[in-house]
Amino acid sequence: MATKKIKPNTPGQRHRTAPVFDDVTTNNPSKKHTKGIHKSGGRNNRGRMTMRHRGGGHKRKYRVIDFKRDKVDIPAKVQTIEYDPNRTARIALLAYADGEKRYIIAPNKLKVGDTVISSESAQPEVGNSMPMMSMPPGTFIHNIELHPGKGGQLCRSAGTVAQMVAKTERYVTVKLPSGESRLILGKCFATVGATSNPDHFNTSKGKAGRSRWLGRRPRVRGVAKNPVDHPMGGGEGKASGGHPRSPWGQSAKGKKTRHPNRLSSKYIVRRRKTKKAKQQ
């Protein structure tokens, strides 16, 4: 997977860096594993906007992804590598030995014809899913469960990868892409390898319309608003806006929002890297 620089035939193409779909093998998803998707436009069940800057976008079909990988001890062959409009990583269609087919998040370097399996006794090879307790320390993983049987929740976007660095009798220590290290139950499953489409973050949209196709509406800067609309609004001329704030007055630069007595804090071995730590 790579990117390509578009010839600037139009102003919107001038700064666009587009993805290359060389790894995609088909444009037709499996109808049995797709369904309609309802978009909320950022509204809750009362119709109130609870998330700003969302709405519109191109019509999509949802691909049902197997995040649990609970079809244990049955080998599966990779049939296709496909584009999924609902996520940044590619997806792979697996054909199991018993005839069933399922979509999974495609690991990087997985090819059509490869065989993968989900098993406690599986080998730590790309695409195999297994309990983290069965992996050797240092294994690179993605689609990581936080609770046994719930399905993968961590490291599912394009190019992300975590590393299982140590294990005890009950827990394993996983270093996440953010730099955070945390304890996770060893019974939780994870998939070996990194997620596909690692060059996703090297792409550039090139124009505002492409964001609208993705369902993202424009954001207006707080300093460009009136005082009644934003704490940083108003002022004569191009005022700086004062202290950075959210529209509801909460400090926007470095204010800690995590509750100090949160239950999961005891499982965090090392906090994620801060900007100060990176500069040092």
Amino acid type, 95:
A
Q: What's the pLDDT score for residue 278?
A: 53
Please state, in angstroms and rounded to a whole number, the distance separating the CA atoms of residues 145 and 69: 10
Q: How many domains does the chain have?
A: 1
Q: If residue 92 lies in a helix (H) or strand (E), which one and from where to where? A: strand 91-96
pLDDT at 279: 52
Domain annotation covers residue 179: yes
Tell me whether residue 239 is in a domain.
Answer: no
Instruction: Determine, yes or no, domain membership for 224.
Output: no
In degrees, rounded to 5, the angle at the alpha carbon of residue 2 between the alpha carbons of residues 57 and 22 is 80
pLDDT at 273: 73
Q: Are 146 and 188 in contact (CB under 8 A)?
A: yes
Q: Give the integer Cα–Cα distance in Å for 46 and 29.
A: 34
- Tell whether 217 is covered by a domain: no
Burial class (CB within 10 angstroms; exposed 0-12, middle 13-18, buried 19+) of 65: buried
Domain of 65? 3-40+57-200
The secondary structure of residue 195, as a DSSP letter, is B
| Bridge partner residues of 102 (DSSP) | 94
In 3D, which of 142, 143, 133, 120 has the Cα closest to residue 172? 133
Instruction: Give me the residues of the chain with pLDDT under 70, please.
Output: 1, 274-280
Q: Confirm whether 275 is domain-assigned.
A: no
Q: Cα separations (Å) of 54 from 4, 43, 113, 156, 212? A: 28, 9, 39, 22, 9
Residue 140 included in any domain: yes
158 belongs to a structural domain: yes
CATH number at residue 70: 2.40.50.140
pTM of the model: 0.90
